[in-house]
Amino acid sequence: MMKLCWFYGGLLIIFVLSCVSAVVNVKNGGFESGSNQPDFWFTYKSPGTDAVFVWDNKVFHNGKYSVYIKNNGPKNAAWQTSIPVKGGATYLIKVWAKVKNGKGVTRIGLRCEDAVGNWTGQVIEGTGISGDKDWTEIFLHARVPEKAARARIFLVNSAGSGDEIWFDDVTVEETEEKK
Ligand SMILES: [Ca+2]
């Protein structure tokens, strides 16, 4: 009887643990390490788009640094990094963003790659903010394609026209399937 209790107790623990979100490590998610640029982060702008990117040590949500974009448009400007993902799993990605003069939209974008680096599916977009916003947490909650092995996270401003944006404290967790 005792053995049976241990068995069911063990099953219960496994069940409970499987329901709890698992934190995914985002390297340098607070932008605190680097030399000239923040480690593990890269910039992207659409062809023909005029944007300025700064690793900022004056404005931040936590620590001493954030990343900054001034997007003069007309299309996309982003800071990006890459994380490993499990195909078919669901992830909640969050970042704190501050926006000044936001005529375009600031949000998180996600696009996945398979094990050999080919894109799987299109860009997935999270909640967007515009206008003038002090530090606000924005998020993207999405299931990645079955073949996904890595996900590219974009902290992106689209269609900006002099928009200024700061991002800080990126976190990712694997969650239960999105309802
Ligand atoms: Ca920081």
What digits encode the pLDDT tens for the residues 85-133? Answer: 999 999 999 999 999 999 999 999 999 999 999 999 999 999 999 999 9
What's the CA gap between 69 and 52, in Å, rounded? Answer: 6
C-alpha distance from residue 147 to each of 46, 78, 89 (Å): 26, 25, 10
163 Cα to the center of ligand 1, angstroms: 20
What's the CA gap between 125 and 174, in Å, rounded? Answer: 17
69 Cα to the center of ligand 1, angstroms: 15
C-alpha distance from residue 68 to each of 27, 60, 78, 88, 145 (Å): 18, 10, 9, 32, 30
User: Which of 12-21, 65-74, 127-136 shows the lowest mean pLDDT across its residues?
Assistant: 12-21
Q: Domain limits of the chain? A: 23-175
49 Cα to the center of ligand 1, angstroms: 26
pLDDT value of position 137: 98
39 Cα to the center of ligand 1, angstroms: 12
The environment of the single-atom ion ligand 1, i.e. residues with CB closer than 5 A, is 30-31, 60, 62-63, 65, 168
What would the two tokens of residue 63 be?
A: 């620590």
CATH homologous superfamily of 23-175: Galactose-binding domain-like (2.60.120.260)
